[in-house]
Structures are given as C-alpha cells and as structure tokens.
Amino acid sequence: MSDYKLRLKRNISLFYLSSFFRGLIFIIPVWVAFERRFLNYEQMALLEAAGMAVTMFLELPTGALADLIGRRMTIVLGIFIRVAGGVMQAFSFNAFTLIFGFLFGSLGSTLISGTDEALVYDSLKEAGQEEKFQKVFGKNSLFFQSGIVIATLLGGYLYQFWIGLPYLAEAGAEAIALVMFFIMIEPRIDSLKFTLSSYIKQTKEGFLQLFQNPYIKRVSLFYILVGGITWSSQYFFNQPLATDLGFTEIEKSWLFSFIRFINAIVLFKLTNLNKFFSKKRAFLLFPILMIVSFLPGFWVGKMVGVFLLTGASFASTARFVILGQYTNEEFASRHRATAVSSLNLLVSLMFILIVVFSGRIMTLYSTKLIYTLLGLLSFILILPLGLSLAKNHHSLKQATLLNKL
C-alpha cells in the first residue's frame, strides 16, 4: 500500500479521535439554566434561530470555499472560531456577551458543517473504500457519542463548581480536535484554482447537485425534512422538554448520558448489519421512529418522557450516519462539500422556521406540545415520502446497473 493511501487511512483514525473530543459537549445538561439567567424561552428560541441563520446564510459559501481551498484547513479555521466563541460564552456576564459568543461559535460551526463529512468521504474514495462510508460513520458515531456520554455525565457537576466551566472545558476539548485535523492530509480531489468566478460557479453547481435527477430530489427532500425536525429537537427542544418534565441539571446529566450511551451502542451495532439497514428499511424507519417519539409528547410524564427523548435523539444521530451515505454517493467529488452544505443549509432553514414559531408556544404552554406538533409534521410530511422512497429506492445509477445485470 502506498504511503499516500496509508496517510488517507490515518485520516479516518484521526477523525475518530477528533470526534471523541468534539463530542465532549459539557454544556448539554446545563445550557438551558445558563441562558435563562438572561433570556426566557422565547428569547432563547430567537437566539437559536439567529445562530442557525448565520449557519444557513454562510453554509453554501463556506462549502464552496472548502471545495476550492481544501477541507482540512477550512475545518481547522472553523474549530478555532468555535473555541473562541466558547470562551466568550464561559465568561459572559450579560445577554449581549452571551449572544455575541454564541453567534461567533455559530460562524465556526458553518465552516465545519458538511466539510468534515466531505473530507472523510473523499479520503475513503481516494483509498478505494467509499462503500465503507456508512460503517465509518457508524463507528465514528460511537466515538462521538462516547464523548457526549462522558461530557453529559460530568456537565452538571462542572456547572455546580462554576457555571462557566462546562463552556470552558468544551472549548479546551475542541482545541485538541483542531490539532487532529491539522495533522491530516488533504485528499487529491478534483479542484479548481480559486477565483471569484470559479467560487460563484462552484456554489451554483454544488447546489444543483441536489436536483440532478428525480431520485436525488426526493432523497434530498426526505433528508431535509428528517434533519429539520430531528435536529431542532436534538439541538434545542430536548433540554427544555426535560426541564418541563421536572428533571434537575444533575438528573439531566445522568439522563442524557444514558440516552447517548444507548444510542451509540445500538447505532454502532445496527450499522454493522448491512442487511438490516437497507435503503428500503431506512426510508420506513425514520418516519415511524419520529412519529412514535414525538406524537405522544403532550400527554407523557417524567418516566415515559425518557423513552421519547431516547427515540428523538436516536433519529437525529442516525440521520447523519445512514442518510448521509445515500446522499454522498450521488454527488461528484469536486462538488461534494458544496452539495452537503446545500443540504445543511435547507435543514437550517427548516430548523429556523420550527424554532421561531415554537418559541411563543413554549413560553405560553410547554415544550411537550411542541413535541406533539413535530409528530404531526412527521406523519403528514415524512411518512408519505418515506413510503414512496421505500417503494422506489434505487437511484438512477443503481437502476442502470441493475438493468445491465
């Protein structure tokens, strides 16, 4: 095996290690209490929407930038900005400093979003192992979720020691992940010399990858709907729901640590069973899981709520591991980061719409009602599309190959 391919394989090992440190999100069980020092639920929803708007508006430009100047250094820059944003939040003393640090961190997230996925896929493709993408992301999820399990368990206790410590500890862990990406190598993908015209062209062509044929149009829409609903729950609604159900910060540390642990083990096992996670089953699994996890939300209590939170969290994590394979395999290498960023942009748009319209409802009623509304959306929008894709689940590339066999 050539030295180049060995270094590409090292990229994957470093990616696993970096994911563990990026998973040390110590703020998970405490961010609601931390932000509620200055903001109410409605204001918190607007802040989340503003952060996601930053991500959305810069998603395509940063994806195109990664395609043109390299994924690795784009990610390094993004993590550096996130570290700075985390430190700002740790020492925030009013709403303004909290908001500024949060939005600065969102800018960093935009540079990473989709770019890390493209870096891994192209590393595998250059090594002739792109068919292992789903297994790699399944294993990577185990590392990431392991980090989350540890960080979530410790986050509540760090908060008791000093309320800014979880944010500072998370920034430190991300700084270690930055080093991991820095020592990776850039895959030799089709690339263009950076010019303004090539930048605009790259952005346009990458976005159009989502609509290149009828199959990928439907898969893209499915990914966007699943991503918008599950990401809004994972990133925003789950913690307020746990608060509304009566969990304390320490209880949330144990609860979400347990949920992440179960998710990591189950997802790792299932993604190694190729026969189980066929496309047909995946397109049916997501709407069913989401309906079961969200729809009963308004009526559940503390104990049953644990099962809903577990299902919603699993659906969000599985979206990256399982659906990411089906979209990446349709995109050309030199457009992949831009195309993945385009998907994330549209997921972000849906996230913003859901969170903005939910803020007032959360303030007047509770997050439990939001969960039920997300279940209704899953039933009305995602279930019919999932049934359609399950019936016709071969891409045009696969259909052509099957016809030849």
Q: What DSSP line would sit under 159-216, residue for residue?
A: HHH-TTHHHHHHHHHHHHHHHHHHTS-----------HHHHHHHHHHHHHGGGSSHHH
Phi, psi of 102 (to 5 degrees): -65, -50
Query: Which pLDDT belongs to residue 168?
Result: 97
Which residue pairs, CB below 8 angstroms and at least 24 apart, start in 120-123? 120/11, 120/12, 120/15, 121/328, 121/336, 122/71, 122/187, 122/189, 122/333, 122/336, 123/8, 123/11, 123/12, 123/15, 123/187
Average confidence (pLDDT) over 238-258? 92
Contact indicator for 278, 362 with CB cutoff of 8 Å: no
Question: Among residues of the chain, what percentage have pLDDT more than 90?
Answer: 46
Query: Residue 298 carries which DSSP code?
Result: G
Whether residue 372 has pLDDT greater than 80: yes
Query: Which pLDDT belongs to residue 403?
Result: 40
Which domains can be identified in the chain, with CATH numbers?
A: 3-186+202-404 (1.20.1250.20)
Phi, psi of 64 (to 5 degrees): -65, -40
Report which of residues 404 and 199 the model is more confident about: 199
Query: Which pLDDT belongs to residue 133?
Result: 74
Query: Which pLDDT belongs to residue 198?
Result: 62
- Helix, strand, or coil (residue 264): helix
Summarised one tens digit per residue, pLDDT across range 129-184 is 777 776 787 788 788 888 999 999 999 999 999 999 999 999 999 999 999 999 99
Average confidence (pLDDT) over 70-78? 87
Query: Which pLDDT belongs to residue 236?
Result: 92
Contact indicator for 26, 151 with CB cutoff of 8 Å: yes
Query: Which pLDDT belongs to residue 404?
Result: 39
Q: Whole-model pTM?
A: 0.76
Query: Residue 183 carries which DSSP code?
Result: T
Query: Which pLDDT belongs to residue 398?
Result: 53
Summarised one tens digit per residue, pLDDT across range 194-214 is 555 665 666 677 777 787 788
